């Protein structure tokens, strides 16, 4: 087929496809089955014409036009499937499924965190001076006077400011721990170990000053879930890091993408919890009027609710619905 004849015969198809792409820009969802079928057929025809033009007439205006059209069609007609069912389906299906797939690495992260906590506790109990240096002189002065440093954290600034500050700070920690996973998992590892070490040594020091009860009371409402969320988000980062370092029998690019999808779903399932937690930390945890039993119950309820959402049995689907 010569060039001029090729253009004359095939141009109506290209123009019709271009017109459909332009129309789809505004009213994609209103396309009926027939229109979509026509479009799919024309896309295939355009791809084949592009292949022919690239081989027979390279460098010509028509070859360039078909190249642009084939790319535009590929961009518009192929791509990642949109999540169905919105937020509710995400929290009831996608998140628990991703969490459960990532359970092994989450278990490893929890074990690391507990190990670091016991290590911190042991250091602060056996060598209180070391633990004290981690808290700083002001907190130490407060402890000597029988006050926890946490009191000043939430009483010197209005609760609205401290709650938004706490929420954004905690979310930033979770996001950084997660995203740092691309550095071979080193950042989430650091976050998990540091948090565990700090928690353990703080307990050790407060035990030394006989203030551990007050500290437990303060963290009982928000602490369990807050630490869980940080560790679970960091575990997502660890999963990404593991896929980079040891991809197994999959190509590394594929392993990283798969780990990233699950880790993202887990992270997105964790982040919203930080908002009610920050409000709890500001309004419930430091309140002397509220009984300890209520704070403990609230803390356990929040933790149980999260764990229930995460471990909720979700039937396996034929088609994957990763985020």
Partner 1 sequence: MAAIRHESILGLDNIRLDLPVASVGSRSLAAFLDYLILIVLMFLWLLLSALIGAFLSSAWMPVILIVGLFLLNWGYFAGFEIATGGRTPGKMALRLRVVTAEGGSPGAGALLMRNLIRAIDLIFGVPMMAIDPLARRLGDRLAGTLVVHDRGREAAPVLGRIPPGWGARELAVVEAFLARARSLENTAESWQMADHILDRIRADAPELLAGIDTRRDPVAALRQALQVEDA
Q: Least Å distance between CB 260 and partner 1?
A: 5
- Alpha carbons 108 and 115: distance in angstroms, whole number: 10
Min CB(104)–partner 1 separation in Å: 20
Q: CA end-to-end span of the chain, whole Å? A: 47
Q: CB 202 → partner 1: shortest distance, Å?
A: 26
Q: How far is the CB of 56 from partner 1 (least distance, A)?
A: 7
Closest CB to partner 1 among residues 183, 296: 183
Cβ nearer to partner 1, comparing 19 with 126: 19
Q: DSSP for 149-185?
A: HHHHHHHSS-HHHHHHHHHHHHHHHHHHHHHGGGTTT
Which residues does 248 contact at the CB level (< 8 Å), separation at least 6?
Answer: 255
For residue 238, give both structure tokens.
């660890």
Instruction: Give the separation between CA 134 and CA 137, rounded to whole angstroms.
Output: 9
Please, is 32 exposed, middle or buried when counting C-beta atoms within 10 Å of its C-beta (0-12, 13-18, 19+)?
exposed
Give least dist CB 80 to partner 1, A: 3
Could you give the maximum distance between any two Cα atoms of the chain, in Å? 95
* Closer residue to partner 1 (CB): 65 or 222: 65
Q: Shortest CA distance to 281 belongs to which of 267, 302, 309? A: 302
CA 50 – CA 68 distance, rounded (Å): 9
Smallest separation (angstroms) from partner 1 to the CB of 89:
14
Phi and psi, residue 251, nearest 5°: -60, 145
- Which residues of this protein are in contact with partner 1, per CB under 8 A? 2-4, 7-8, 11, 18, 43-44, 47-48, 50-51, 54, 56-62, 64-65, 67-72, 74-83, 158, 160-161, 164-165, 168, 171-172, 175-176, 178-180, 182-183, 240, 253, 256-257, 260-261, 264-265, 267-268, 322-323
In terms of CB distance, is 163 or 201 closer to partner 1? 163
Q: By C-beta, is 52 or 198 nearer to partner 1? A: 52
Q: How far is the CB of 284 from partner 1 (least distance, A)?
A: 18
Q: Within 10 Å of residue 220's Cβ, how many Cβ atoms?
A: 20
Q: What is the rounded CA–CA span in Å between residue 294 and residue 298?
A: 6
| C-beta of 80 vs 145, nearer to partner 1 | 80
d(CA 237, CA 84): 26
CB of 23 to partner 1, least distance (A): 16
Residue whose CB is less far from partner 1, 180 or 223: 180
Q: 96 near 310, Cβ under 8 Å?
A: yes
Q: Cβ closer to partner 1: 43 or 113?
A: 43
3-state class (DSSP) for residue 173: helix
Q: Where does residue 259 rank: exposed (0-12), middle (13-18), buried (19+ CB within 10 A)?
A: buried
Give the residue from 232, 244, 246, 248 showing the smallest Cα distance to 96. 232
To partner 1, the closest distance from the beta carbon of 24 in angstroms equals 12
The pair of three-digit structure tokens given for residue 280, joined into one six-digit string:
């709890």
Residue whose CB is less far from partner 1, 67 or 133:
67
């Amino acid at each position: 087929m010569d060039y001029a004849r090729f253009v004359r015969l095939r141009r109506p198809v290209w123009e019709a496809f271009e017109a459909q792409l332009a129309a789809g820009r505004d009213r994609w969802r209103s396309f009926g089955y027939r229109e979509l079928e026509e479009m799919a057929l024309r896309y295939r025809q355009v791809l084949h014409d592009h292949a022919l033009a690239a081989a027979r007439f390279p460098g010509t205006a028509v070859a360039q036009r078909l190249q642009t059209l084939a790319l535009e069609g590929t961009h518009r007609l192929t791509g990642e499937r949109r999540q169905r069912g919105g937020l509710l389906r995400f929290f009831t299906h996608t998140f628990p499924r991703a969490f459960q797939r990532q359970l092994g690495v989450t278990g490893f992260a929890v074990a690391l965190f507990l190990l670091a906590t016991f290590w911190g506790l042991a250091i602060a109990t056996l060598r209180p001076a070391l633990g004290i240096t981690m808290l700083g002189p002001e907190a130490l002065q407060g402890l000597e006077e029988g006050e926890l440093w946490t009191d000043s954290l939430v009483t010197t600034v209005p609760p609205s400011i401290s709650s938004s500050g706490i929420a954004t700070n905690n979310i930033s920690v979770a996001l950084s721990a997660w995203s740092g996973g691309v550095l071979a998992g080193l950042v989430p590892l650091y976050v998990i170990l540091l948090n565990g070490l700090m928690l353990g040594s703080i307990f050790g020091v407060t035990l030394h000053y006989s203030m551990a009860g007050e500290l437990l009371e303060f963290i009982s409402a928000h602490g369990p879930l807050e630490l869980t969320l940080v560790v679970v988000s960091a575990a997502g980062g660890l999963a990404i890091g593991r896929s980079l370092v040891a991809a197994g029998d999959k190509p590394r690019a594929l392993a990283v993408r798969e780990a990233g999808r699950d880790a993202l779903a887990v992270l997105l399932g964790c982040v919203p919890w930080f908002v009610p937690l920050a409000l709890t930390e500001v309004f419930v945890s430091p309140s002397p009027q509220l009984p300890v039993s209520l704070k403990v119950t609230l803390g356990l309820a929040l933790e149980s609710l999260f764990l229930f959402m995460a471990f909720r049995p979700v039937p396996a689907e034929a088609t994957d619905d990763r985020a």
